[in-house]
């Protein structure tokens, strides 16, 4: 692997990836590669996570294709030097910011959206002119094997190198012996900390897309039917195995009982009384995650659901009422189809509970009041969020996606991905025909002039 990485370094230094023509050709090749393997991708994701074709397109393939289309249409513009104004001291020089590739980038993806979360950042890294090492999750083996086959068949391994295997072994082996120019990791906070430590040894910049307990507040004036549909849709998509899914709901006491009934009916409308028989309801990734999530069912009063089948890694969409805030279900990221419901009377009660898990990756609030919406958005620091919606901020290319604090460092998506995988070099270009002696020593007697020029 060490020799492979050195070969990539030489390939990059020789300038193969820098031209617009090269970058655009690789983006188009990646798009066609995905479209040509659409059915195989559907099959792999069904094996790993029981995702339907519709869900695969909406949350995996379509995400990546949309990102590629944007990059293709905007790449020439993104690559252009960006003119900025020049101060009086440097007159008549010109100033601009020049995007330049970083070099060798390591992208590490998780298992919950194994296709999208590996290839979507890849789009930005290609557009920025880098060489990439891709590390897929071993916990989604069918998708990982397919992506490896696709990438290695289409791209030279000095340009994109695909790595499989146990992440706990493979990643330290690479990062401890090679200084990447950037690392983007999507996964748990615990593993993110270890990635951060290894990157720090070589002063490698990182983008960490982590997780946390993303709260959802339902105020007294919320449209309950709309709130229920949008919460249930996001929470139980991919069986809740989504980093920005609502982790728990804080609902005003005055509407709590009514809202629970609306939630129950919405779950039935979406998944019937037998969700396990529905093609569009997935499964838990493996038995380890299944057993972890199963423990949460005993930590509150089950309001709806609670059925499970270990043989099929199936857990029904479940609502639980939690009274003990010390329970694990209220202190760990659930990452599964279990939704705690907690009532609140005063806003401060809800804020105090949210404060126990600072800086969530996402925050959601449902209210008809602009004043209340602004209040909640200003009071809860989070990576991103929605007012009267959940998770769909991730679908807007104009909104960078990322966390803060324990939920992540940095961001990407759309133009921001290009910038994340580029160095924005500041350049001052000065003419030689204007070179007044007053700028040079001796400086005695020039203080007044300097004060006018340098403010």
Please give the positions annotated as active site. 209, 243
The H or E element containing residue 303 is: strand 301-304
Give dist(CA 26, CA 17) in Å, integer: 9
DSSP 220: T
DSSP states of 28-72: HHHHHHHHHTHHHHHHHHHHHH---HHHHIIIIIHHHHHHHHHHH
* Cα 411 off chain centre by: 7
DSSP 399: S
Residue 289 tokens, joined: 């995650």
Half-sphere exposure of 123 (CA within 13 A, CB side): 31
Instruction: Give start and end residues of each alpha helix (H) in 202-277.
Output: 224-235, 256-271
| Dihedral in degrees, nearest 10, Cα atoms 209, 287, 57, 240 | -60
Give, in degrees to the nearest 5, the angle at Cα 22 between 174 and 398: 80
Question: Which residues have CB under 8 Å from 385's CB, separation 6+?
Answer: 362, 363, 364, 365, 377, 393
Residue 122 tokens, joined: 């890849």
* Chain position carrying tokens 């690559």: 79
Question: Which residues have CB under 8 Å from 339's CB, separation 6+?
Answer: 231, 235, 240, 246, 248, 249, 263, 317, 318, 319, 320
Q: Judging by beta carbons within 10 Å of its beta carbon (0-12, 13-18, 19+), is residue 214 exposed, middle or buried?
A: buried
At residue 83, the 3 state secondary structure works out as: strand
Give dist(CA 312, CA 329) in Å, integer: 23
Residue 375 tokens, joined: 């209040």
| 92: preceding bond cis by omega (within 30 degrees) | yes
């Amino acid at each position: 692997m060490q020799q492979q990485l050195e070969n990539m370094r030489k390939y990059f230094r020789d300038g193969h990836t820098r031209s617009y023509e090269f970058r655009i050709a690789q983006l188009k090749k990646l798009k066609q590669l995905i479209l040509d393997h659409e059915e195989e991708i559907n099959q792999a994701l069904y094996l790993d996570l029981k995702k339907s074709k519709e869900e695969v397109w909406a949350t995996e393939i379509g995400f990546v294709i949309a990102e590629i289309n944007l990059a293709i249409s905007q790449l020439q513009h993104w690559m252009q030097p960006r003119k900025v104004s020049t101060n009086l001291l440097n007159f008549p020089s010109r100033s601009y910011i020049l995007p330049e590739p970083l070099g060798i980038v390591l992208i590490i993806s998780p298992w919950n959206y194994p296709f999208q979360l590996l290839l979507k950042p890849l789009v930005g890294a290609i557009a920025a002119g880098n060489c990439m090492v891709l590390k897929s999750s071993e916990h989604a083996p069918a998708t990982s094997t397919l992506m490896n086959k696709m990438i290695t068949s289409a791209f030279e391994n000095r340009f994109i190198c695909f790595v499989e295997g146990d992440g706990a072994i493979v990643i330290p082996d690479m990062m401890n012996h090679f200084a990447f120019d950037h690392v983007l990791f999507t996964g748990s906070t615990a593993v993110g900390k270890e990635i951060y430590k290894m990157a720090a040894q070589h002063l490698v910049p990182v983008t960490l897309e982590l997780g946390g307990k993303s709260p959802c507040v339902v105020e007294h004036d919320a449209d309950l039917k709309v709130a229920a549909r949008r919460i249930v849709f996001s929470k139980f998509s991919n069986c809740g195995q989504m980093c920005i899914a609502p982790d728990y709901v804080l609902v005003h006491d005055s509407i709590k009982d009514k809202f629970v009934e609306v939630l129950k009916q919405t779950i039935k409308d979406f998944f019937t009384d037998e969700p396990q028989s529905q093609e569009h309801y997935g499964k838990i990734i493996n038995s380890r995650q299944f057993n972890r999530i199963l423990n949460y069912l005993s930590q509150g009063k089950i309001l709806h659901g609670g059925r499970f089948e270990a043989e099929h890694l199936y857990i029904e969409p479940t609502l639980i009422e939690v009274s003990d805030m010390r329970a694990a279900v209220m202190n760990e990221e659930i990452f599964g189809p279990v939704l705690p419901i907690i009532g609140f009377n005063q806003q401060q009660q809800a804020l105090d509970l949210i404060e126990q898990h600072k800086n969530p990756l996402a925050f959601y609030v449902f209210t008809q009041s602009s004043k209340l919406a602004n209040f909640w958005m200003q009071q809860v620091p989070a990576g991103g969020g929605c007012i009267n919606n959940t998770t769909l901020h991730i679908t807007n290319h104009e909104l960078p996606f990322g966390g803060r604090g324990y939920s992540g460092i940095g961001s990407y998506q759309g133009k921001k991905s290009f910038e994340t995988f580029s160095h924005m070099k500041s350049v001052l270009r000065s003419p030689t025909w204007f070179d007044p002696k007053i700028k040079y020593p001796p400086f005695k007697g020039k203080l007044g002039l300097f004060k006018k020029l340098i403010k």
